[in-house]
Amino acid sequence: YVHLVAEAMRRAFADRAEHLGDPDFNLDMPLDKLLSKDFAKKRFENLDMSKASTSDPAQFGHPYDGENTTHFSVVDKDGNAISMTYTLENSYGVKMGSEKLGFIFNNEMGDFNPVPGKTTSTGQIGSNPNLVAPEKRMLSSMTPTIVAKDGKPYLVIGSPGGRTIINTVFQTVLNVLAYDMRIDRAIEAMKIHHQWLPDRILYERNLLSPDTRDALEKMGHTLTPTTTIGVLMGITYDASKKLYTGAADSSSEDGGARGY
Ligand code: DON
């Protein structure tokens, strides 16, 4: 499972580095191709089920710092859902706010690719679509997500965590939809993160068993432990019971689930 999911992540992040940036500046982003089943199939043609592939930085990087992002998932009594990730970056963004609107402005300049052409094995991306330019919007990893079932919100989910957000939300959606986990279990379940570069699987130290780690290393993966990945906040709706269930990641110091 971890090998397959990590290889999918590796490929998705390589494609993101190559193609994605502000659509106003990247008129030829091949979205149809990226979303097509044919392309997905093609991307997996070189996947070896017994061996890790390699991430090649020669083609294209992205410093990111800060722990200043937060996420809210909300559903009201009429079933309207909001999934909102709010990012400031270090030291209160640009240190200015709007009294009228009631929020602080962020500073996302670090979300641009910093140096044209400089893609490094440590994870800095230098590809064109997300290079800095006047009036251009930087590429965000925020993934506020609402999954609908029969046209109604079924799962509302999101997380902070920089580039880990995409994979954190991806695995949580997978846990709920494919593995039928209850939302609290899905949020707490073991998460990994692979972002193409650096070429390694980040894993939650206490949640990936030693024998799985051993098997992955034998397949050629490099493993790096971390305490925890993501700070998820989620809600699911069970239409048959007309029941909303909310859960907050136990790694959150001040998060929580509330009903009213
Ligand atoms: O928009 C982005 O991708 C980043 N500004 C998010 C940063 C973040 O999640 C930091 N939180 N831990």
User: Picking from 90-94, 122-126, 228-232, which range would have the lowest pLDDT averaged per residue?
Assistant: 90-94
Confidence of residue 68 (pLDDT cuts 50, 70, 90): low
pLDDT cut 90: percent of the chain above it = 87
| CA 106–ligand 1 middle distance (angstroms) | 10
Answer yes or no: is pLDDT of 67 > 80.
Answer: no
| Domains of the chain (ranges, CATH numbers) | 2-248 (3.60.20.40)
Residues lining ligand 1, CB < 6 A?
66-69, 87, 89, 108, 111, 140-142, 160-162, 165
Name the residue of 65, 67, 69 to mutate for ligand 1: max ligand atoms within 8 A of Cβ.
69
**Model confidence, pTM:** 0.83
Q: Distance of alpha carbon 218 from its chain centroid, rounded?
A: 27
| CA 87–ligand 1 middle distance (angstroms) | 6
